[in-house]
Structure 1
Amino acid sequence: MHLAWQANGQRAELCPLIGTGPTNCQDVPLAGEQDFVIDELALTYIGFALRVYAPEASGMRTVELHPQCQDLRPWFFSDPPLRCPAQEALTSYAASQHFERGLMIWVEETDEFYVFYHEPDDQGFQVVQRTVGLELKPGASEDNRIGEEPPPGLYEPVSGFGLIWRGEVEWPYPDNVRERLGWATVPESGYDTAYQCSTPAYPRLWNCFLLGPDGEVYHLRPDSTAGVRILWQEW
């Protein structure tokens, strides 16, 4: 990548831009040009800034940068985002089960459980709940059942999905999974999944992608830097 600039003042700095602002600034002439190699670190840049200092004032001009992935690492799916993946795709055996109003996925390699809700929450967000492993409440067991007969053509989930559905696990979410998901519409089944995240441009604003049981790709991201919710949409 080639940068050229010209400014009036006493001195100037050229700085890569990341989500939080300028970083790794270096002194440069007031007029000049420079070539940059887009390496692994530069994939996190969102632009460059030229800071100019004068006796009475200082100023800054910026230019946007959109580094694109050119065979550094492949995405596991077609039509991916422009940014490079942060790592090779994690591939794993997985289990899934569709429900009346959502979907559950378990990824064996990371022991992560995902609960996708089709209907928005009370704040209007389409959320996915995620937990690593299952911490069981007293009396919890995969053999437990709710004691109700599912309607014809529907199923009560079992194994780890059943534990979450019945509210038998300790996790940082309300125990209303069963109410929100409804009954399962198919039995639990296995498939091969993949998981991959893009190189972040802003701290704590990640974008990750999970392969679903029917070949669909789910885009996961936090609702803010605070990460109160994880939002999802089909890519």
Structure 2
Amino acid sequence: MRLPFRRPLSLLLLISLLPALSGCGAAAFEVVPTTRPTATAAPSETPSPTLDRSAVPTATLTPPPATGGPSPTPLFGQPMTLAASPTRALLNPNAPRIEFFTADGAAVAPGNIVTLYWSTRNASDAVIYQMDRGERSRLWNVPPDGSLPVQTRTSDRGVLDFVLSIGDGVQRVEQPLSIPLACPDVWFFNPAPSDCPTRPAEETFIIEQPFERGRMIYMQAVDRVYALFNDGFDPAWLVLDNRFDPAIHPESEPGFPVPPGYFQPTNELGFVWRGNDLVRNRLGLGAQPESRFNGLIQRAAARDGAETLYLSSAEGSVLRLLPGGDAWEIIALP
């Protein structure tokens, strides 16, 4: 059994002997009593968080960068992007090819001779075609190199189109050639159109009469009657053959009463107007009496062969009738 006062008794005994011990030597040690240490509570372990496997992670939102101001310019310019170079196709050195296909002049006058020149490689022969409205109309079998004189026609207008062809099948090679034709004729009015007339202007006797919704014109050179409408419907104009015979047809028809201020057409114009309901209904009544005069007509042909007609009008203007009855217009005022 432990004695509860044993350790304090030993301490008192030691203190009582200190004076005796201090006299035994020069080196004496001072003993300083210290406070009895007390027990310090050790820190308890902090439990670590437990991972929740069912928890759903949340995304952290990052604010977008501001775009209100101008984008900064790189100090050394924009970075260069190298484009991939295309793969060059290998050419067959033995395949036929055309070195050139040309003519002896930049333009030719209708009726003159134009000379074609060409040179090819790896071909034993060649063919030259002349095109007419997109179709191959004439052909010449020619050597792989040489020249060819071609006689043009006085009626040719616009351009002359040729095609040089060599090789066969998948190795066929063709090259087109277009030669402008000089315009030999002038227009009878100004400002002149940009296209070339098919022939010089032709003088002819003309009868013209205005109507409520258009006009009618008879041209003796072609012996036809033209009905020009301005009612907004199609076609914009019609052309009809003249069948009026003064020996058997009356000049006018009393059975068509006309209100005051209007006029019934007569002769060539009246025969068409009375006999064609479509023309009569679209034109209405004559707004003025007919005019008879000598005028001019002229034409221009497109590459597809469609013709545009130009003719003098009674008031001194020029009328243009586009192909197919599409439209008509006044293009030159007196």
Please report the TM-score for the alignment, with normalisation by the length of structure 1.
0.72
SS at match of 1:61: strand
> Cα deviations across residues 189-235 of structure 1 (Å, max 9, x unaligned)?
122221222356445x3333222223333334543xxxxxx444224
Shift of 1:177: 1.6
Shift of 1:6: 4.5
Partners of 1:128 and 1:232 within 8 A in 2: no
The aligned runs of 1:138-177 (5 Å cut-off) are: 141-150=250-259, 152-167=260-275, 175-177=277-279
Once superposed, what is the RMSD of the aligned Cα atoms?
3.3
Q: Which residue of 2 aligns with 1:52?
A: 166
Q: How has the CA–CA distance of structure 1 residues 176 and 59 changed in structure 2, closer, same or farther, with 3 Å as cutoff?
A: same
Instruction: Structure 1 unaligned segments of length 5 or more: list them.
Output: 168-173, 224-229
Aligned match for 2:154, one of 28, 40, 43: 40
Higher helix share: 2
Q: How has the CA–CA distance of structure 1 residues 233 and 143 changed in structure 2, closer, same or farther, with 3 Å as cutoff?
A: closer
Where relative contact order (Cα < 8 A, 6+ residues apart) is larger, the structure is 1
Quick one: distance in 2 between partners of 1:181 and 1:95? 16
Partners of 1:120 and 1:127 within 8 A in 2: no
Quick one: distance in 1 between partners of 2:245 and 2:158? 36
Quick one: distance in 2 between partners of 1:111 and 1:41? 23
Please report the TM-score for the alignment, with normalisation by the length of structure 2.
0.54
Higher strand share: 1
Aligned match for 2:241, one of 116, 131, 139: 131
SS at match of 1:25: strand
Are 2:204 and 1:92 aligned? yes
Shift of 1:19: 0.9
Partners of 1:8 and 1:52 within 8 A in 2: no
Aligned match for 1:211, one of 306, 309, 312: 312
The aligned runs of 1:159-198 (5 Å cut-off) are: 159-167=267-275, 175-198=277-300
Quick one: distance in 1 between partners of 2:265 and 2:316? 22
Partners of 1:218 and 1:232 within 8 A in 2: no
Bigger-Rg structure (1/2): 2
Farther-moved stretch of structure 1 (54-63 vs 110-119)? 54-63
Partners of 1:92 and 1:109 within 8 A in 2: yes
